[in-house]
Amino acid sequence: MGETLVITSGKGGVGKTTTTANIGVALADLGYRVALLDADIGLRNLDVVLGLENRIVYDIVDVVDGFCRLKQALIRDKRNEGLYLLPAAQTKDKTSVSPEQMRDITLQLKELNIATESGKAGYFDFIVVDSPAGIEQGFRNAIAGADRALIVTTPEVSAVRDADRIIGLLEAEEISRPQLIVNRIRPGMVRSGDMMGIEDIIDILAVELLGVIPEDDRILVGTNRGVPVVGDSSSRAGQAFKNVARRIVGEEVPLMKLDASEGFFGRLGYLLGIRGR
Amino acid sequence: MGFLSRLFRREGGSKHVAKERLQLVLSHDRMKLPPALLEQMKDELITVISSYIEIDEAGINVELTERDDERQLIASIPVIGMRKRRARQ
Ligand SMILES: Nc1ncnc2c1ncn2[C@@H]1O[C@H](COP(=O)(O)OP(=O)(O)OP(=O)(O)O)[C@@H](O)[C@H]1O
Ligand SMILES: [Mg+2]
Task: For residue B87, tell me if it sits in a domain.
Answer: no
Instruction: List the domain range (segments joined by +) for residue B26.
Output: 3-82
Q: How far apart are the C-alpha atoms of A117 and A126, rounded to whole Å? A: 18
Q: With 60 as the cut, is the pLDDT of residue A263 above it?
A: no
Chain A residue with CA closest to B5: the answer is: A192
In short, whether A23's Cβ falls inside 6 Å of ligand 1 is no
Looking at residue A94, its pLDDT comes to 87
Query: Is there a contact between B9 and A197 if contact means CB atoms under 8 Å apart?
Result: no
Cα A12 to averaged position of ligand 1 atoms, centre (Å): 9
User: Which residues from chain A sit within 8 angstroms of residue B19, using beta carbons?
Assistant: 196, 200, 204
Structure confidence by residue, pLDDT tens digits, B19-41:
999 998 998 888 888 888 888 98
**Total structural domains in chain B?**
1
B5–A contact, CB cutoff 8 A: yes
Q: What is the ipTM of this complex?
A: 0.79
Q: Mean pLDDT in chain B?
A: 81
Domain covering A3-272, topology: Rossmann fold (3.40.50)
Residues in chain A within 8 Å Cβ distance of B29: 161, 164-165
Average pLDDT, chain A: 92
> Per-residue pLDDT tens for A207-230?
999 999 999 999 999 999 999 999
Listed by start position, the domains of chain A span 3-272
